[in-house]
Amino acid sequence: MRLLAVFSHPDDELGCLGTLAKHAKRGDEVMLVWTTHGELASQFDNHSDSEVRRIRQEHGAWVADTVGAQHHFFDMGDSRMTGERSESLQLAKLYAHFQPDVVLTWSDDSPHPDHRMTAKITFDAITLARIPKILNEGQGGHSEDIEEMITAHRQPVRLFQYVSSASARPVVHIDIGEEIELVKEVFTFYQEFYGWSFTPEDFLATRGAHGRESGVKYAEKLQRRQAFAPALEFLI
Ligand SMILES: [Zn+2]
């Protein structure tokens, strides 16, 4: 199984890191993708743009390595995302290359526009990745180009999003009891670096609350969105 997590800025991934680590440990292929470098973070006022990119790329690489994932940065521009077709197409080409079975992303109504646009292009790219003529626009389609042609991704994709109180989509909880120390380590790294007032204990308490809702000690909570889902044999 292949899982692709698509977020806007390094640290957005904290809501599903335990789930990603758990899948990686099971032997699934996991990739973490950021659509921007988060280059506008106000903690970096004294750094050049290229320096901020380098630091945030290092953070992303470290997080991916810690959970056992590959990673990739796009450069769609912090707080400049528009959700337009060219952004979805960049992501669709990555889907075609990686062929994910599961995609995870932001909710549809986070206050940050990049988060909303990331959720939008993550959903839109599922459809664009199914269409060979879109993936290969400008390739010419001559026989000598066949080797270069991008293969469409037409397998069903399970899409999971961060929870939105405004959404009625079904909620799932993932038991992260064995991954909680790893998730806490990554949270603590970001918290110390950025000086967040939200403490590791506060963070653990949220995972504990999700766990109490679902009968385990610690859980992550996501919402399921259907896209080209195959028929089930039975309900359970
Ligand atoms: Zn963000």
Cα(78) to ligand 1 centroid in Å equals 9
| pLDDT tier, 147 (very low <50, low <70, confident <90, very high otherwise) | low
The answer to which of 11-15, 44-48, 179-183 has the lowest mean pLDDT is 44-48
Measure the CA–CA gap between 80 and 203, rounded to whole angstroms: 29
For the CA atoms of the chain, what is the radius of gyration? Answer: 18
CB contact at 8 A, 135 and 93: yes
C-alpha span between 93 and 156 (Å, rounded): 16
Asked if 2 contacts 100 with a C-beta cutoff of 8 angstroms, the reply is yes
Give the distance (Å) from ligand 1 centre to CA of residue 85. 21
Give me ligand 1 centre to Cα 10, in Å. 7
Domains, the chain, ranges and CATH? 2-174+219-225 (3.40.50.10320)
Residue 71: Cβ within 10 Å count? 20
Encoded tokens for 149: 């042609």
Answer yes or no: is pLDDT of 180 > 70.
yes
Task: Provide the percentage of residues in the chain whose pLDDT is more than 90.
Answer: 82
Q: Residue 17 pLDDT > 90, yes or no?
A: yes
pLDDT of the residue at 152:
94
- β-partners of residue 172 are 222
Q: What does pTM read for this prediction? A: 0.93
Span from the CA of 123 to the centroid of ligand 1 (angstroms): 18
Q: What pLDDT digit, counting tens, does each position of 198-216 carry?
A: 999 999 999 999 999 999 9
**What gap in Å lies between CA 143 and CA 148, rounded to an integer?**
10
Residue 148: pLDDT band (50, 70, 90) is confident
Q: What pLDDT band is residue 146 in, cutting at 50, 70 and 90?
A: low
* Contact indicator for 47, 53 with CB cutoff of 8 Å: no
Centroid of ligand 1 to alpha carbon of 179 (angstroms): 22
Number of helices and strands (H, E) in the chain? 7, 7
Neighbours of 28 (CB within 10 A): 16
Q: What is the mean pLDDT of residues 44-61?
A: 88
Q: What is the pLDDT of residue 39?
A: 83
Other Cβ atoms less than 10 A from the Cβ of 233: the count is: 5
- Chain-centre distance for alpha carbon 124: 14
> Could you read off the pLDDT of 69-119 as tens digits, one per residue?
999 999 999 999 999 999 999 999 999 999 999 999 999 999 999 999 999
Which ranges of 130-199 would DSSP assign to H, the alpha helix?
A: 132-135, 180-194
- φ and ψ at residue 228, rounded to 5 degrees: 55, 45
Q: Tell me, rounded to whole angstroms, the distance of Cα 132 from its chain centroid.
A: 24
Q: What is the pLDDT of residues 111-145, one digit of tens each?
A: 999 999 999 999 999 999 999 999 998 776 555 55
Neighbours of ion ligand 1 (CB under 5 A): 8-9, 12
Answer with the residue of higher pLDDT: 147 or 44.
44
Calpha distance 207→198 (Å, rounded): 14
Please spell the DSSP secondary structure of 98-148, one letter per residue.
H--SEEEE--TT-SSHHHHHHHHHHHHHHHHTT-HHHHTTTS---GGGGGG
Cα 11 to ligand 1 centroid, rounded to whole Å: 7
